[in-house]
């Protein structure tokens, strides 16, 4: 069984995931654009993996957008996206950027592309720079 480790930006929250990821979606819905401040969210999904909080579980807050299925867990200190459980404990959602290690699975699909930001096209064609430009 695979084990993955993760944490928030400020280091207050650490967690371990045991198990496999079923899917890896890049979600372009307007809710994910708002809560990431980016073109899309990058979330790993598992119906069999489990999470154990190593430290900082009391700093994890979850926001449920009223009248939707959209949730987001985050560190109350630094705001970093963190894993959460949906569907009465049957679906673990892990923001890919919250992991401190590599994952074997590549993105499965872009979803909600009908909501894609108008500037989110042909991004692989723009200049790529290794560091912050001077």
3-state secondary structure 2-31: CEEEEECCCCCCEEEEECCCCEEEEECCHH
Q: Where are the domains of the chain?
A: 3-117
Name the pLDDT band for 111 (thresholds 50, 70, 90): very high
The region, left, alpha or beta by phi > 0 then psi within -120 to 50, assigned to residue 58 is alpha
Separation of alpha carbons 15 and 34, rounded Å? 25
pLDDT value at 123 more than 90:
no
Name the pLDDT band for 69 (thresholds 50, 70, 90): confident
Q: Which CATH architecture has domain 3-117?
A: Beta Complex (2.170)
Query: How are beta strands 50-55 and 14-18 bridged, if at all?
Result: antiparallel
How far is residue 77 from each of residues 12, 51, 54, 74, 80, measured CA to CA in Å? 8, 20, 17, 9, 8
pLDDT value at 53 more than 90:
yes
| Among candidate residues 7, 99, 109, the one with its CA nearest the CA of residue 60 | 7
- Look at the pTM and tell me if it is higher than 0.85: yes
pLDDT value at residue 14: 98
pLDDT value at residue 88: 73
pLDDT value at residue 33: 95
């Amino acid at each position: 069984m695979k084990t993955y480790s993760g944490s928030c930006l400020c280091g207050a929250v650490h967690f371990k995931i045991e198990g496999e990821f079923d899917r890896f979606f890049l979600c372009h819905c307007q809710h994910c654009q708002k809560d990431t401040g980016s073109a899309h969210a990058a979330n790993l999904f598992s119906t069999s993996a489990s999470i154990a909080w190593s430290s900082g579980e009391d700093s994890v807050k979850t926001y449920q957008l009223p009248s939707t299925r959209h949730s987001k867990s985050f560190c109350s200190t630094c705001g970093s996206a963190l894993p959460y459980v949906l569907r009465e404990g049957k679906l673990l959602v892990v923001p890919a950027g919250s992991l401190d290690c590599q994952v074997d699975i590549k993105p499965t699909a872009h979803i909600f592309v009908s909501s894609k930001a108008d500037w989110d096209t042909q991004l692989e064609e723009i200049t790529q720079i290794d560091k912050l430009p001077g």
